[in-house]
Structure 1
């Protein structure tokens, strides 16, 4: 959880600073792609606020109404991020880019004075976007380190498998945001430079629209990944099979009748099992066996927090 919070805070600081710089660049040049990138960075900044709220809310103690805690709050707020903020920013960027393609861009070609020197206004956009790439690279690396830690811990094959199996949606969302932010800044930079080199506004306008499409596409992907956890997804089959084997191999266990797992929060899993024990076990031995099985399950996979066993003799 501490790792996720650090990733989000790093992204919040980076995106907040970048949003201000991009908006200043847009005001000076009226570049369509800079406005799209402004929407993008404002969206990302709002995203981090939502994710921090989710992290804080999920840390509340369990209650009668929520006996397994509030861990799913992170799934909910990450879903809001993907649908509301990414979707809105993507739509606005696409709409603005489309309008620029149809009616032409009004990018300023004037001069800007700074420290006694004058230079073309579009230079501001280049400097801002290069700075944005630097900031986003820092945030992206921090998120990537956290995600790779999970990949090593759970022996996943890579980022694609982690995207499908992780329950740490906060890190997943931050990682995806930062990757998109890097791509968006690079696309905007190419569009701005090509427009100035060729004198054709279409490159800047198309860049703005493409950034919108990129945002909306990843919004759908992130919403889909959050949906599986909101609906109560189990552990991946390989992880669940290992836990089932722990129960099956415990002395005195005859058969595992039912075995179910479900995520109740990021890195928090509930296990429920119906187990047939040997018929000659007395009550005290049975209680001891159940306790030992619970301890073994938690030792096998650190995500297991709650274990409920129904014994059958």
Structure 2
């Protein structure tokens, strides 16, 4: 939880600083594109605010109305970020780029002035974008460090596996946002360089369109990952099999009738197991066996926080 909060705070600082840089660029050059990018960065800053709300809300203690706590709040706010902010920012960027391609609009002021000095407006864009790369690089480093830590802790061999199995959607969202932001900045730099070199604004407009498409693709992917957890997805098959083995290999169990798992928060896994115990066991023996199974399941998977073992009559 602490690692996730650090990642979000780093992204919040980075995106806030980038928004200020882009707004200063707009004030100096009067470029509508820079103002549009300011809105984009303000939107990204809003992402982190939503994620922080989710983290804070998810830390609330369990109540009678919410006996398993508020951990799913992080899934909800991460879903909200992916749909309302990523999706909207992506659509607006793509729409702006498409409109610019149709009308051949140039987004860069030819000249700008500061303190009485005249200079090419494109310089401002370069300074702002390079500065943005620096801030986003800082946020990405924080997110990537937490991601590697989680991959090592869970023995995940690839980012693909992490993306499919993680329940820490806050870190996943922050990492995705930082990655997309860096790629978008590289697209923007490439488009501006090509436009300046050729004098053709189509490259600048095309980069804006590509950035929008990139945002929307990742928005859909993030929404899908959060949806599976909001709907109560079980643990990955290989991890479930390890939990099944705990019950099946217990010397007190003759049959594992059914095992169910569901995430009710980031790294908070609920396990229920219906088992048949040996006929020669009394109540105390059954209670001891259940305690042993619960302890072993928690040791097998550190995300397991609640285990309910229900004895079943032999068929």
User: Is the CA contact (8 Å cut-off) linking 2:28 and 2:114 kept in structure 1?
Assistant: no
User: Residue in 1 aligned with 2:225?
Assistant: 225
Deviation per CA, 1:93-126: give whole Å up to 9, x if none.
1122122112232431013235x75421210110
For residues 179-194 of structure 1, the aligned pairs below 5 Å read 179-194=179-194
SS of aligned partner of 1:235: coil
Q: CA deviation at 1:21?
A: 1.0
SS of aligned partner of 2:302: coil
Q: CA deviation at 1:245?
A: 0.8
CA distance in 1, matches of 2:79, 2:196: 39
1:55 aligns with 2:55: yes
Q: Under a length normalisation based on structure 1, what TM-score does the superposition of the two structures give?
A: 0.95
Deviation per CA, 1:32-85: give whole Å up to 9, x if none.
654553343222101000000000000111111111110000000000000000
User: Is the CA contact (8 Å cut-off) linking 1:82 and 1:223 kept in structure 2?
Assistant: yes
Q: Under a length normalisation based on structure 2, what TM-score does the superposition of the two structures give?
A: 0.95
1:157 aligns with 2:157: yes
User: Is the CA contact (8 Å cut-off) linking 1:33 and 1:192 kept in structure 2?
Assistant: no
Q: 1:202 to 1:29 in 2, by over 3 A?
A: farther
Q: CA RMSD in A?
A: 1.5
CA distance in 2, matches of 1:206, 1:288: 66
SS of aligned partner of 2:187: helix
1:303 aligns with 2:303: yes
User: Is the CA contact (8 Å cut-off) linking 2:22 and 2:35 kept in structure 1?
Assistant: yes
User: Is the CA contact (8 Å cut-off) linking 1:94 and 1:211 kept in structure 2?
Assistant: yes
CA distance in 2, matches of 1:162, 1:33: 36
1:12 aligns with 2:12: yes
User: Residue in 2 aligned with 1:109?
Assistant: 110
CA distance in 1, matches of 2:38, 2:190: 16
Deviation per CA, 1:196-221: give whole Å up to 9, x if none.
22111111111112111111111111
CA distance in 2, matches of 1:226, 1:154: 19
Unaligned runs of 5+ in 2: none
CA distance in 2, matches of 1:9, 1:59: 16
Following TM superposition, the consecutive aligned residue runs of length 4 or more in structure 1 with deviations greater than 6 angstroms are: none
CA distance in 1, matches of 2:7, 2:296: 32
Is 116-125 or 144-153 further displaced after alignment? 116-125
For residues 45-194 of structure 1, the aligned pairs below 5 Å read 45-106=45-106, 107-114=108-115, 117-194=117-194
1:272 aligns with 2:265: no
Q: CA deviation at 1:29?
A: 3.6
